[in-house]
Structure 1
Amino acid sequence: MAEWLAYVIQMTIWGVSIDLLMTEHSWVVIATKFFAVCFLFYISLKLWFSVKDPLSGNSVGINVPDLFVATLTNPKGLFFVSFVAPTGTFLSLSNYMPFMMLFTAIIFPVGLLWIAIGAFCGRKLHTIVSGRLLSRAISLVIGLFACGMLFNIASQVVFA
């Protein structure tokens, strides 16, 4: 519930800001999206290199302070606002409420499914899904997602 509330607050602030800036300063919106994509690439690389070296036993990469800062500055709300929400959604209550209700209807089941998959993998597939393999796979998925978003930004700039 707290995570949902954080999403709603973050998305509302990003959404209102982007929708207000869109008319006069469209470059700010593109720059903000580019920043979010760079953050995703950073997280992907950080995760890729955070795997434990089986020979040395040393862990490199993400530690508790890094994870805290990553969570605090997580741009997921920006992604939902800039890549999913139609332009102008956050300037009208008649557009804002249906979008947020749809977001809520999607985010709760997805969150529960994600928790269930994580719990299942932790219990049943612990030896198959090692930390190294899982971290690298998630890193690749995040990197590919960022590439797709970068293509989206480039197509907006080129075809604008």
Structure 2
Amino acid sequence: MNVNDWSFLLVIATILLTPGPTNTLLASSGISQGLRRSAPLLSFECLGYVCATSAWGLVLNTTMHDYPFVINLIKVVSGLYIAKLGLRLWYQARRDPLQELLVSVKPLELFIATLLNPKAVIFAMALFPVQTWLSVSNYAGVMGSFVLLVASIGGLWIVFGSVLMAGRVRWLQPQVFQRLAALTLWGFAAWLLVNGIFF
């Protein structure tokens, strides 16, 4: 994938929109603290993703010349992982998400959860263009766009927590959202698997 082909951001946006450890904490903060008091958490989310994706990108850059098959292997493993997440979401749709989200979120907790979030591995090693890690200008352009996307979608998760999950929007139940998220994850899992096996 070329660094000038920004379509990878659409895939990243879709994955960022799906429930996960960081998004759960952001939604939780939206419920317990509201939008205004939760907004500062977005900087900790961005920092966590920048640190994690940069570390994984360094690993990729040091291994891709000697072991080019590693990229395809990572895409296949990532596809399987995303498919597993989709399966878990599908079956968890029966549970009441509000029971799990009513906690106060500390910035350091969010940073660590984001740093350890498996999505960062998928972003850095399977979705970011390989050229991202070859020059400072490529890195700055891709990472700048990525951070804007992370902050925007993280803000949506805070709003999601404060509005949708609190039951103020009756036409979309949390269970329906989880099922839609699961279907979306399966779609991108298939994309990664095909990409890793045939390209």
TM superposition score normalised by structure 2: 0.60
Residue identity over aligned pairs, in percent, reads 27
Distance 2:115 2:144 in 1: 24
- Render the CA deviation track for 1:2-42: whole Å, top value 9, x for unaligned: 21111111111111111221111012222222221111111
1:88 aligned to which of 131, 136, 149: 131
Residues 1:102 and 1:130: Cα distance change in structure 2 (over 3 Å): closer
Identify the residue that residue 120 of structure 2 maps to in structure 1. 77
Kindly indicate whether structure 1 or structure 2 has the higher relative contact order, using CA contacts under 8 Å at least 6 residues apart.
2
- Does residue 40 of the first structure (1) align with residue 82 of the second (2)? yes
Residues 1:89 and 1:50: Cα distance change in structure 2 (over 3 Å): same
- Does residue 145 of the first structure (1) align with residue 188 of the second (2)? yes
- 5+ residue gaps, structure 2, are 1-42, 102-112
CA RMSD of aligned residues (A): 2.7
2:140 aligned to which of 94, 97, 100: 97
Is the Cα–Cα contact under 8 Å of residues 75 and 195 in structure 2 kept in the other structure? no
TM superposition score normalised by structure 1: 0.73
- Report deviation, 1:73: 5.1
Is the Cα–Cα contact under 8 Å of residues 82 and 185 in structure 2 kept in the other structure? yes
Residues 1:94 and 1:45: Cα distance change in structure 2 (over 3 Å): same
Letter in 1 for 2:87: L
SS of aligned partner of 2:64: helix
